[in-house]
């Protein structure tokens, strides 16, 4: 799932390439993606794109008094297409969910494709006059890139949830998902299962510093790639996330994972849990 750094890179790409263009036809290939009907999506046609922004993990395109907002969800991506086919796509075929055509001041006619891989279709699109009208944006906590250390400490002390759960809870802190929370906890040398409200001030400081460095490094890396010309999110430089069994870059011991039915997360026992192996939910279920 695209998280803060990838969505930030896509917003940056759109600011550079789409702002100033006029919105043309919008093709809806998957009917389920559009979550709003008033204002109608056709109201965007003929308007100039004036800005692009990120709200947590949501990507937004502004056209005057209207916003088109998307949450790419697990398998979604945004792709810039220089020469899109003029024929409308066939609904329900392939990964394309929505296509927005543009007319640029230079006379080009590119498009944005919102695509979603996999069978579970969860990509969502809203057309609103105010981003706060999107319920999942109105619920967002402070953004992980701008939250202060004091606010961060207050957020952690307000919940007894495990650190792994707190970091990805969008209502507490916006922008971080499964991948970057693994990376942040590894850099901070903290257990994913530690209780958020019981961290001592030193650990809170280490976690805050790790969050800032992991996210700003990833934003810098993502911005260097032509995000919207890639076929899907490509991440580089992950330390432990999705690296089960590979050597930890700090201590060399194998990266371990905790697996659930449909997802998993990774950590280094030597660096993060004083060698303790965390319970694998999938295994303990099988052993019951
Ligand atoms: Zn390690």
**For range 238-258, the mean pLDDT:** 96
The token duo for 90 is 């066939």
Q: How far is the CA of 57 from the centre of ligand 1 (A)?
A: 29
CA of 249 to the centre of ligand 1 (A): 7
- SS3 for 109? coil
Q: What is the pLDDT of residue 229?
A: 77
Q: Which two tokens stand for residue 64?
A: 């005057």
Q: How confident is the model at residue 282 (pLDDT cuts 50, 70, 90)?
A: low
- For residue 254, the CA-to-ligand 1 centroid distance in Å is 8
Structure tokens at 97: 């969910």
Residue bearing tokens 């998957």: 30
What's the whole-model pTM score?
A: 0.93
Question: Residue written as tokens 């709200």?
Answer: 55
Q: Report angle CA 136, 164, 54 to the nearest 5 degrees.
A: 35
Which of 189, 191, 188, 203 lies closest to 156 in space, CA to CA? 203
For residue 236, pLDDT beyond 80: no
The pLDDT of residue 124 is above 50: yes
Whether 85 has a pLDDT exceeding 90, the answer reads: no
Tokens describing residue 154: 């207050």
Q: What percent of the chain has pLDDT over 90?
A: 81
**Do the beta carbons of residue 170 and residue 140 sit within 8 Å?**
yes
Whole-number Cα distances in Å, 26 to 59, 77, 93, 107, 183: 17, 17, 17, 18, 38
3-state helix, strand, coil in the chain (%, to 5): 35, 25, 45
Instruction: Indicate the average pLDDT of the chain.
Output: 93
Give the distance (Å) from ligand 1 centre to CA of residue 3.
Answer: 24
Helices 149-157/201-224 angle, 10° precision: 120
Place of tokens 């967002």: 140
Measure 34 CA to ligand 1 centroid, in angstroms: 44
Ligand 1 center–CA 71 separation, angstroms: 33
Which of 74-78, 147-151, 233-237 comes out lowest in average pLDDT? 233-237
The CA 242 to ligand 1 mean position distance, Å, reads 15
User: What is the CA(193)–ligand 1 centre distance, in A?
Assistant: 16
Pair of tokens at residue 65? 């008094």
Q: Which residues pair with 78 in a beta bridge?
A: 114
Within the chain, residue ranges assigned H as helices are 4-17, 135-138, 149-157, 163-168, 178-188, 201-224, 269-272, 281-287
- The alpha carbons of the chain give a radius of gyration, in whole angstroms, of 20
d(CA 251, ligand 1 centre) in Å: 4
Q: How many angstroms does the Cα of residue 255 sit away from the middle of ligand 1?
A: 7
Query: Ligand 1 mean position to 271 CA, how many Å?
Result: 4
Distance 83 CA to ligand 1 centre (A): 47
Q: Phi and psi (nearest 5°) for 116?
A: -140, 120
What mean pLDDT comes out for the span 70-83? 93
Q: What is the DSSP string of 154-187?
A: HHHHT--SBHHHHHH-TTTSBS--HHHHHHHHHH
Query: In the prediction, which pLDDT does 288 show?
Result: 45
Beta bridge partners of residue 76, listed in sequence order: 116
pLDDT digits (tens, 9 = 90+) for 88-102: 888 777 899 999 999
Please determine, for residue 261, whether its predicted confidence score (pLDDT) is greater than 80.
Answer: no
Task: Show the tokens assigned to 137.
Answer: 């944006």
The CA 238 to ligand 1 mean position distance, Å, reads 13
State the distance from the centre of ligand 1 to the C-alpha of 192, rounded, in angstroms: 14
């Amino acid at each position: 799932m695209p998280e803060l750094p990838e969505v930030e890179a896509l917003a940056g790409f759109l600011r550079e390439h789409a702002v100033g263009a006029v919105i043309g036809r919008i093709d809806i290939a998957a009917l389920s993606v559009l979550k709003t009907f008033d204002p109608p999506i056709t109201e965007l046609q003929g308007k100039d794109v004036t800005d692009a922004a990120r709200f947590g993990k949501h990507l937004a395109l502004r056209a005057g008094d209207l916003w088109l907002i998307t949450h790419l969800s697990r398998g979604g991506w945004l792709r810039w297409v220089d020469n899109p086919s003029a024929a409308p796509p066939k609904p329900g075929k392939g990964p394309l969910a929505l296509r927005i055509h543009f007319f640029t001041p230079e006379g080009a006619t590119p498009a944005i494709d919102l695509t979603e891989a996999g069978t579970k279709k969860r990509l969502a699109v809203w057309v609103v006059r105010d981003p706060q009208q999107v319920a999942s944006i109105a619920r967002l906590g402070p953004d992980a890139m701008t939250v202060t250390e004091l606010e961060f400490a207050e957020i952690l002390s307000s919940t007894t949830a495990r650190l792994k759960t707190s970091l990805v809870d969008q209502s507490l802190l916006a922008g971080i998902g499964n991948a970057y929370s693994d990376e942040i906890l590894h850099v901070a040398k903290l257990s994913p299962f530690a209780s958020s409200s019981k961290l001592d001030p030193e650990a809170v400081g280490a976690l805050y510093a790790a969050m800032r460095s992991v996210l700003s490094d990833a934003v810098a890396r993502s911005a260097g790639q032509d995000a919207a010309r890639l076929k899907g999110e490509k991440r580089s430089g992950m330390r432990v996330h999705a690296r089960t069994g590979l050597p930890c870059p700090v201590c060399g011991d194998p990266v371990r994972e905790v697996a659930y039915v449909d997802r998993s997360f990774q950590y280094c026992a030597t660096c993060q849990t004083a060698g303790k192996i965390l319970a694998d939910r999938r295994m303990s279920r099988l052993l019951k």
